A = this chain, B = another copy of it.
């Protein structure tokens, strides 16, 4: 057992030296664009987890939801309790197959983008969550080049998180961190409903 523990210590000592060097090399502090995409669970919830981290550090948070809005979600119910730190705008009316009205969806998306631009031009907002923006881009409700221009024009220290399936390649190109959430298995396929507290 002592040998195993000593081998463990030596291995971890070497690993620490490697990781410390990487951490020393990654010394820039700057606002980043984070994109959560893919078909798996966790894209929006991860964005709201980052909101929690930001709130813990006293950072102001702005949220715009592009699709959600027809039904109050847990994240909205909770984050609205902190109006001095979080501004929450659920500006969608449901998924495209629920609204079934393209012109109205476009008008809603453009209105939501106007709100997003207010956050993106305000250096007091440290984290901007643009929930399901990728869906609005996928359906071309918003012009991806204009969206990217506005994102790149934001204050230098401001972080942005964009969520939704099918992130466009142009957005992935300019993003700093991109994660693809992939389904390994999903309870929904086994007949389990989307439930309060996990999915919404």
Contact = CB atoms under 8 A, between A and B. Distances in A.
Interface of A: 4-5, 8-9, 12-13, 15-16, 19, 22-23, 25-30, 32, 34-38, 40-57, 59, 73-79, 96-103, 126-127, 159, 161, 172, 175-200
A97 to B, nearest CB: 4
B28 A56 contact: no
Nearest to A20: B97
Contacts of A4: 102
25 contacts: A8-B102, A19-B97, A22-B188, A23-B193, A26-B192, A29-B193, A32-B187, A32-B192, A35-B184, A41-B46, A42-B49, A46-B49, A48-B49, A48-B53, A49-B49, A52-B78, A53-B73, A53-B196, A53-B199, A53-B200, A176-B187, A176-B192, A179-B183, A180-B182, A180-B184
Copies in the complex: 2
B12 A42 contact: no
B32 A49 contact: no
Given A176-B185, A197-B57, A48 B40 contact: no
Contacts of A78: 52-53, 55-56
A60 to B, nearest CB: 10
B185 A32 contact: no
Contacts of A194: 23, 26
- Which of A54, A77, A96, A195 is the most central at the interface, judged by chain B CB atoms within 10 Å of its CB? A195
Contacts of A35: 184
Given A25-B191, A57-B197, 10 more contacts: A13-B97, A26-B191, A32-B192, A42-B49, A45-B47, A48-B52, A52-B78, A53-B74, A53-B75, A126-B197
Contact of A49 (B15, B45, B99): B45
